[in-house]
Amino acid sequence: MGKTKIISTLGKVALNAVAPDVLEQGTKMLNNQLEKRKEYIKIPDVKSVDIEDAKATLDKYNFNHSEVPVQPDAEYANAKPNTIVKIQPKENTSVAPNTFVKMYYVDEQTIISSKILVQEAENAKASKKQKRQDRIQNVIGTTSNVSANIGEKLHLKKTKKVEIEINDDQI
């Protein structure tokens, strides 16, 4: 027998001896996970819901939860006050009962600060646009001056046509 055939035969014997144990252990682990997940429930979607209603909904499902105010951001400038804007873990995720859920909400101050951020961004954008237009005008003006100076130096001024009037008396 060659070395390859011996190794192949030993591998098959070892696999037949070990495979049933490995398969049995894998099946047990899978069944344990499936058994655990039978009790899992989906996190309800409470985004855009009033904070008090969101608390009541999560309490109904026995979730532990906390409310966390979000930092001002342009995306919250038009949000309704005291509403949930994000939850963690995400909505419709299957989780174990008593999972801790964070609800992120916007309050009046966050909305006001967010509107200020939006206004500042618009002002910065307008300022940038104005600076760009000023640079363009500067380039146009400079180009006109340079071309006029070149024309003067090369004496390329337009010559004036001189019209002579001749009277009948002069003929």
User: Within a domain: residue 127?
Assistant: yes
The token duo for 55 is 């608390």
User: Within a domain: residue 81?
Assistant: yes
Identity of the amino acid at 96: A
Helices (H) and strands (E) in the chain, counts: 3, 5
Q: Count of domains in the chain?
A: 1
Is the pLDDT at 21 greater than 80? The verdict is: no
Distance CA 19, CA 27 (A): 12
pLDDT category of residue 3 using cuts at 50, 70 and 90: low
Percentage of the chain beyond pLDDT 70 is 75
Q: Stretch 102-129: mean pLDDT, rounded? A: 93
**Is cis: bond before 20, omega within 30 of 0?**
no
User: Within a domain: residue 15?
Assistant: no
Residue 117 sits in a domain of what CATH number?
A: 3.30.10.20
User: Within a domain: residue 28?
Assistant: no
User: Within a domain: residue 65?
Assistant: yes
The token duo for 61 is 């499902």
User: Within a domain: residue 19?
Assistant: no
- The answer to whether the CB of 101 falls within 8 A of the CB of 43 is yes
Is the pLDDT at 52 greater than 80? The verdict is: yes
- pTM (2 decimals)? 0.59
User: Within a domain: residue 75?
Assistant: yes
pLDDT category of residue 65 using cuts at 50, 70 and 90: very high
Residues of the domain holding 99 = 37-148
The token duo for 74 is 């342009």
User: Within a domain: residue 8?
Assistant: no
